[in-house]
Chain A
């Protein structure tokens, strides 16, 4: 709906003159002045189809009733939204819709929030002229109320369906999915899953949320509670860094569902299934509810007082004897900002240690100040601006999996704005139905490919006039297009065509993701990408987004939960605390290495499970086993809590108020939905208890803590990137003999991190680690879905069932990191850029 420079239209609605942007509909114009016109099939984010006909209005000089959702405003229009003719028309539509509607409101989950109930109520229809038996769709006579399963979490009751087609339309228009459709014709039309398929896309829950009646319901909510008995709490999703706004629906300390709390700047009202069903983690069985202290071989329940006293005593002993530098901390970047801040403050002011890190599932990270990668993550980036792009370039990201909602914005740029989409990845990713130039490069050669694009831009004379390109080729390797093409395996003409497209584009969104974040070579790749951004004219002609992974990775960066901070941040913290440890801190990798060398005596872990997640499981185990004293706080028992001397029960996000900083750097507050389960405590309180016992409280009041945190978060700098080219070195690793299939440890589409396996609904989509491979590789292994494959690397082996992916088409092995039963980090080597594995079929005996 465009409203270009003052293009306005004035019309009269119900006697009120209103001036609105040209091009909007009568419905939108009426809503803008608070006149509510009923709708069923209309949705603000979908194209109008005018199918349900309930939004009739009367327009002067038009003989027929007009559907306001599909009638554009015209100057001088005189609209009546409540005339007798309009009300008659709407009553007729409701009469038609109710002909065969079962009116089973007493047992319908939608009761109380149903558009059909509301509109019928508003139009006072209490009788029907229909005197035939109602038509019944029955698919499954065994279940009650004609309920029919369309997917792991979606149940259909066709009798209630009013055929607004919103589910089918949203699925196609917004999500690019085609797993739901209409079958049969006329009043026998049924909504159903595509033949032989289930509705199991990452966006499936939205289809239920936009259903105006009780035709589609999801299994978590149905038959559990009436909506009017619940209260809502504002929340923010914790299962990736997009920062989608959620509403949690609860009653007496139990959460029943999560829905979208539309934020047009981020999610536009769509959330992914991880966000929708992830709340079940809070209520899942098996939560840790009391502190545990290891006595002999067993961990036994203890009180908080006992646990905190023990921790304080041991920390003090270590600190007094060897110094705080012998204590380290690892924290989950999905914790709220106050907890991350308190964690850092505990280490730096009480324990005098800089050994804190939130990057607990990355490989060896460069440990230095002001690294280029971190600078890049601080660049200004907006999800909403993606849709203005005419070219989107995604580098090193399976976007739909890592950032499902940002992915929708990219899709919108393509489908609504006609943007061109390019992706540079080592394996094919799901792009849905949109047109994409997908460049699948040889693994571990991304910088060569990017260099190739840079060279092409210069050769095609498309570089912007500012930066001096004369010395550029001397700084990079490879520096010839043909070498870049040969190394990366991408034809030179495709590289040139991307270079030309970048040169022609006026608004570029350059997005990078996890495959870059977690790469050992990320500093080098970041340099290559920065060169490319300069040559593409960014930021003048677009934006660059180094997307962080976890819900509060950005917060952790801003709050300084890393060993090495830039001088500005250090001086800010010094001002705030009056002290700051002088010694060089250690990041996650060096911390574990030092533990192995017995240079570190104790680690405090909050919310993460390095034993199952940190690359090279064996390395982590050897490190952890050498520790004198391990303290672990988490929601559930994990491999790491099992190894702990003290285990502390941690509250989930729903159990305390706080804030997250999303991948754009937006600070978003969320409310407490329910009171903490058992004796669990949020991270900041745990840190404060330990600090109080050792030295004194970290903060005087919650308010003071929040203020300190927010102050630091809002001091988030966006350093200017100098348009100066950086050196790029090539470091290609070759596979070693038998181990020749590149391995990628990824999140399963419906899971995120180590918590979501506890969600019953998400486990209904997938509940085990699998080996995801291409159909051709499966054929070579004589494997079908479920065939067990032995995956061996130089350091470990795992046996997993095969999942043949329609998307992957080259020889790579993707394994899921989300399932505690099968930790796949044992396959990884921490110093390797790319892990290679050998795959063999497990022969049945």
Chain B
């Protein structure tokens, strides 16, 4: 069943206001952290909670914070990554729109933990609603003294600056985000140096996802032990899953980690739409490899999904029913990645373009023998050879379907048409 921690007050229309948020217990964690905890205590608590990054990579949050060098002469920055652009993922958007103060409180506590006095929230440019909600909430938080100078009389100052992105998927990648925030072209940087050492304006920087930061106040309020009592041993806590695709009730659902995929799709999502049968699932946003119907009992946690050959990613679960041509699905995806490749490193820039040309030709019924081998080999030349994970993200779904649905691909080339005629309407 749903386990609402982040979504506890999501249906309360007053939650977006500072008054409503406070009456629901908001900003207590911020006050507690400032008044009774040292930054190191905050980091410890979050470390012990086992909270992992919810943006896709799943890196332990407390550990990331502890990489910020102590006593550096340069300022450090906390950045909330709200450039949610992964196809199939829309959880941060709902958090920002319906619980913006929760995001702010998380940012504030994290900033305090790493000794940052200037923080940013980088919001996806297309997010009209969330941008308005966040800006309004930040204004209120300043007015009430939760941000600004001498917060809660503790002597601690914190600025929070909302920055709107220009509409590029790549800017959700943390180093590209840093470039974009600095006013540069949004292109990834090579690592090392890692942002924790040399990030924004070459200063120590932590970039965390909206959902990750929104979880922090709950951990501070209730303690690490409470948090680890949920989820599994290695993937504690709850996670929001954005369920989309061919299901009857697509929506964001918050579940304890480790809940079986079937529960999300069938019990909460109301099963496959149109009375069709399940064909495949993308479990963690469009960048993750496909799962097959036989894997529907896989628990939704970091380790189990990796074991199943895919990834938890951002938690964007995309369901595909059996009246869907897989070549068509992949064509949509590669079009997206080609369009969003930043153009910095050669394999991704050139490879995604070539892949799109090849896959479109197959989809149009103009594929030639050898195209599949060529696609596979191009994918090999991109995988693991790019600066940032966009290249990997582009090829993982392709290679996964080449393995899982080889017959459909081959049929497309041999018969110049789909093995499975798509039976659904799409916008």
Provide 18 A-B residue pairs closer than 8 Å at the C-beta atoms, listed in order of the A residue: A48-B190, A50-B190, A56-B385, A64-B384, A89-B381, A92-B381, A96-B350, A96-B351, A96-B354, A96-B381, A99-B353, A99-B354, A163-B349, A181-B185, A182-B185, A185-B339, A186-B342, A187-B349
The CB with the most chain A CB atoms within 10 A, among B342, B343, B384, is that of: B343
Residue interface bits B383-409, CB-to-A below 8 A is 1, else 0: 011110000000000000000000000
B349 and A50 form a contact (CB under 8 A): no
The CB with the most chain A CB atoms within 10 A, among B168, B185, B350, is that of: B350
Task: Check if B352 is an interface residue, CB within 8 A of chain A.
Answer: yes
A472 to B96, CA, bound (A): 67
The CB with the most chain A CB atoms within 10 A, among B168, B384, B387, is that of: B387
B190 and A97 form a contact (CB under 8 A): no
The CB with the most chain B CB atoms within 10 A, among A52, A53, A132, is that of: A53
8 A Cβ contacts from B327-347 to A:
338-347
Size category of the B interface is 20 to 34
Nearest CB in chain B to that of A49: its residue: B190
8 A Cβ contacts from A53-68 to B:
53-54, 56, 63-65, 67
Give the chain A neighbours of B385 by CB distance below 8 A. 53, 56, 64-65, 89, 92
A90 to chain B, nearest CB (A): 11
Task: Check if A303 is an interface residue, CB within 8 A of chain B.
Answer: no
A97 and B374 form a contact (CB under 8 A): no
Nearest CB in chain A to that of B341: its residue: A186
A322 to B297, CA, bound (A): 115
A163 and B343 form a contact (CB under 8 A): yes
Known: A53-B345, A185-B341. 11 other contacts (CB 8 A): A51-B387, A63-B384, A64-B384, A96-B351, A99-B350, A99-B354, A100-B350, A163-B349, A185-B340, A186-B342, A187-B338
Given A67-B190, A96-B381, A132-B357, decide whether A53 and B347 contact each other with a Cβ distance below 8 A. Answer: yes
B165 to chain A, nearest CB (A): 14
Residue interface bits A498-540, CB-to-B below 8 A is 1, else 0: 0000000000000000000000000000000000000000000
Task: Check if A70 is an interface residue, CB within 8 A of chain B.
Answer: yes
Given A51-B344, A67-B190, A163-B343, decide whether A186 and B381 contact each other with a Cβ distance below 8 A. Answer: no
Task: Check if A223 is an interface residue, CB within 8 A of chain B.
Answer: no
B345 and A50 form a contact (CB under 8 A): yes
Nearest CB in chain B to that of A190: its residue: B343
Size category of the A interface is 35 or more
Task: Check if A189 is an interface residue, CB within 8 A of chain B.
Answer: yes
B347 and A93 form a contact (CB under 8 A): yes
8 A Cβ contacts from A29-79 to B:
48-54, 56, 63-65, 67, 70, 72
8 A Cβ contacts from A469-522 to B:
none
Give the chain A neighbours of B189 by CB distance below 8 A. 49
Q: Contact partner of A52 among B338, B346, B352, B354, CB < 8 A?
A: B346
A55 to chain B, nearest CB (A): 11
A243 to chain B, nearest CB (A): 33
A52 and B185 form a contact (CB under 8 A): no
8 A Cβ contacts from A139-181 to B:
162-163, 165, 181
B190 and A186 form a contact (CB under 8 A): no
Nearest CB in chain A to that of B351: its residue: A96
B328 to chain A, nearest CB (A): 20
Nearest CB in chain B to that of A98: its residue: B350
A112 to B426, CA, bound (A): 54
Task: Check if A129 is an interface residue, CB within 8 A of chain B.
Answer: yes
Task: Check if A130 is an interface residue, CB within 8 A of chain B.
Answer: yes
A191 to chain B, nearest CB (A): 11
A181 to B184, CA, bound (A): 10
Nearest CB in chain B to that of A129: its residue: B374
Nearest CB in chain B to that of A67: its residue: B190
B384 and A186 form a contact (CB under 8 A): no
Give the chain B neighbours of A188 by CB distance below 8 A. 343
A768 to chain B, nearest CB (A): 36
A446 to B426, CA, bound (A): 74
A72 to B381, CA, bound (A): 23
Given A96-B350, A129-B374, decide whether A187 and B341 contact each other with a Cβ distance below 8 A. Answer: yes
Give the chain B neighbours of A56 by CB distance below 8 A. 385
A64 to B380, CA, bound (A): 11
Give the chain A neighbours of B353 by CB distance below 8 A. 99, 135, 186-187
Give the chain B neighbours of A185 by CB distance below 8 A. 168, 339-343
Nearest CB in chain A to that of B343: its residue: A189
A189 and B349 form a contact (CB under 8 A): yes
A49 and B381 form a contact (CB under 8 A): no
Per CB-CB distance, the 10 closest pairs between chain A and chain B, nearest first, are A96-B350, A189-B343, A92-B381, A186-B341, A50-B190, A187-B353, A64-B384, A70-B190, A186-B343, A51-B344
Give the chain A neighbours of B338 by CB distance below 8 A. 186-187
Nearest CB in chain A to that of B352: its residue: A186
A59 to chain B, nearest CB (A): 13
A93 to B381, CA, bound (A): 8
A53 and B185 form a contact (CB under 8 A): no
A49 and B344 form a contact (CB under 8 A): yes
A56 to B386, CA, bound (A): 11
A50 to B345, CA, bound (A): 7
A129 to B374, CA, bound (A): 8
B129 to chain A, nearest CB (A): 26
8 A Cβ contacts from B287-340 to A:
338-340
A254 to chain B, nearest CB (A): 39
A95 to B384, CA, bound (A): 17
Nearest CB in chain A to that of B344: its residue: A51
A51 to B385, CA, bound (A): 10
Give the chain B neighbours of A162 by CB distance below 8 A. 346
Residue interface bits B182-222, CB-to-A below 8 A is 1, else 0: 00010001101000000000000000000000000000000
Q: Contact partner of A186 among B185, B339, B347, B357, CB < 8 A?
A: B339
A163 to B190, CA, bound (A): 16
A182 to B340, CA, bound (A): 15
B127 to chain A, nearest CB (A): 20
A435 to chain B, nearest CB (A): 13
B343 and A182 form a contact (CB under 8 A): yes
A331 to B249, CA, bound (A): 91
Give the chain B neighbours of A51 by CB distance below 8 A. 344-346, 387
A566 to B46, CA, bound (A): 76
B340 to chain A, nearest CB (A): 7
B350 and A187 form a contact (CB under 8 A): yes
Given A51-B345, A185-B343, A187-B341, decide whether A97 and B384 contact each other with a Cβ distance below 8 A. Answer: no
A52 to B385, CA, bound (A): 11
Give the chain B neighbours of A49 by CB distance below 8 A. 189-190, 344
8 A Cβ contacts from A98-142 to B:
99-100, 129-130, 132, 135
Give the chain B neighbours of A92 by CB distance below 8 A. 347, 381, 385
A99 to B346, CA, bound (A): 11
Give the chain A neighbours of B342 by CB distance below 8 A. 185-186
B345 and A186 form a contact (CB under 8 A): no
Nearest CB in chain A to that of B381: its residue: A92
Give the chain B neighbours of A96 by CB distance below 8 A. 346-347, 349-351, 354, 381
A231 to B343, CA, bound (A): 38
B126 to chain A, nearest CB (A): 16
A491 to chain B, nearest CB (A): 28
A579 to B192, CA, bound (A): 68
B349 and A186 form a contact (CB under 8 A): yes
Give the chain B neighbours of A50 by CB distance below 8 A. 190, 345, 387
Give the chain A neighbours of B339 by CB distance below 8 A. 185-186
Give the chain A neighbours of B168 by CB distance below 8 A. 185
Nearest CB in chain B to that of A89: its residue: B385
The CB with the most chain A CB atoms within 10 A, among B339, B341, B354, is that of: B354
Residue interface bits A181-210, CB-to-B below 8 A is 1, else 0: 110111111000000000000000000000
B201 to chain A, nearest CB (A): 13
A63 to B386, CA, bound (A): 14
Nearest CB in chain A to that of B342: its residue: A185
Nearest CB in chain A to that of B185: its residue: A182
Nearest CB in chain A to that of B184: its residue: A172
Give the chain A neighbours of B387 by CB distance below 8 A. 50-51
A132 to B192, CA, bound (A): 37
A97 and B350 form a contact (CB under 8 A): yes
